[in-house]
Amino acid sequence: MILRPGAPDDFEKILAWRNSPLAIQYSKSGRALTREDGIKTYGDALSRMDSSRRVLIPCLDPATPIGYLRFDIGAEGNCAEVSIALDAKFQGQGHGTEALKKGCAHAFAHYGVERITAVVMGANEVSVKAFTNAGFACIQNETDFSTYELKRDRRHGKTGE
């Protein structure tokens, strides 16, 4: 798997991945993202005009993008919240776990963050497992959504990715 930065041409695919039935079901809003909101959320990030939001595209090879990772970097700059969605046909094959591991290593190496959090619905068992497999630990357990955290360690700093 390779990860590349998202680009404007990825917008339609990202909107489709974000609006797949499972991604909607497990999203914080529980609703599809409108095109207008999608442009607000991803437009500047994909054009690299918004340094507080980064999008990475995991690809099996350069011609096969399989989903996206989004990192929202907080105002203080030391923490990012990550979200992820894969194309349904690439789910359940270990790619989500690998994308999270590689994407977070990239974020620690290049975005200047010390910790990465994720808000995951408890019912989303596959996602909970993928984040746990990638080294995240639950730091706040709520009824619906729980918060997971991965801290930067020296290994991330040394290896980069």
CA–CA separation, 100 vs 95, rounded Å? 8
Smallest distance, ligand COA to C-beta of residue 154, A: 25
Q: How many residues are given for the chain?
A: 161
- Position 126 contacts ligand COA (CB under 6 A): yes
- Position 23 contacts ligand COA (CB under 6 A): yes
Smallest distance, ligand COA to C-beta of residue 16, A: 12
Nearest to ligand COA of 52, 97 (CB atom)? 97
49-78 positions binding ligand COA, by CB under 6 A: 67
Quick one: which of 120, 136, 146, 150 contacts ligand COA (CB under 6 A)? 120
Give 125's contacts (C-beta < 8 A, 6+ positions apart).
none
**Coil, strand or helix at 31:** coil
Burial of residue 99 (CB within 10 Å: 0-12, 13-18, 19+) is: buried
> Which residue stretch of 8-16, 50-58, 95-103, 152-160 sits at the interface with ligand COA (rule: CB under 6 A)?
95-103
- Position 130 contacts ligand COA (CB under 6 A): yes
Nearest to ligand COA of 52, 91 (CB atom)? 91
Smallest distance, ligand COA to C-beta of residue 12, A: 17
Nearest to ligand COA of 85, 113 (CB atom)? 85
Q: By the 8 A CB rule, do 70 and 119 touch?
A: no
**What are the DSSP calls for 97-154, one per residue?**
HHHHHHHHHHHHHHS--SEEEEEEETT-HHHHHHHHHTT-EEEE--SSEEEEEEE--H
- Chain residues binding ligand COA by CB under 6 A are 22-23, 26, 67, 84-86, 91-97, 120, 124, 126-127, 129-130, 133
